[in-house]
Amino acid sequence: MELRFTADEWEKLSPPERIKRCRLLAEEAEKLAASATPSLRAAYADLARQWLTLANEMTQEISRGHHQPPRS
C-alpha cells in the first residue's frame, strides 16, 4: 500500500479509514525512527506519536458521536 497524505484524498475517507491511515503512518514513522540517525530519530518518533494521538482523538470523537461524514 502506498502511504501518502493529501487533503483532498483525506476528506474522502470515512472516519474509520482515517484512523487506520493514521495508525499505518505512525507505524511507518516508527520504522524510520528505528533505523534513523540519532539526529533524525527523535523527529520520526515524534511524528509517530502525533499520528497516534490524532488516531486516538478521532476514535474518541467517534465514540462520542461527533464526526464529520466524508465529502463526496
Instruction: Convert the pLDDT of each residue in 9-67 to its tens digit.
Output: 999 999 999 999 999 999 999 999 999 999 899 999 999 999 999 999 999 998 888 76
**First and final C-alpha spacing in the chain:** 23
Q: How far is 42 from 46, CA to CA, in rounded Å?
A: 6
pLDDT category of residue 1 using cuts at 50, 70 and 90 = low
- State which amino acid sits at residue 21: R
Cell digits of residue 45: 518518533
Q: What is the pTM of this model?
A: 0.80
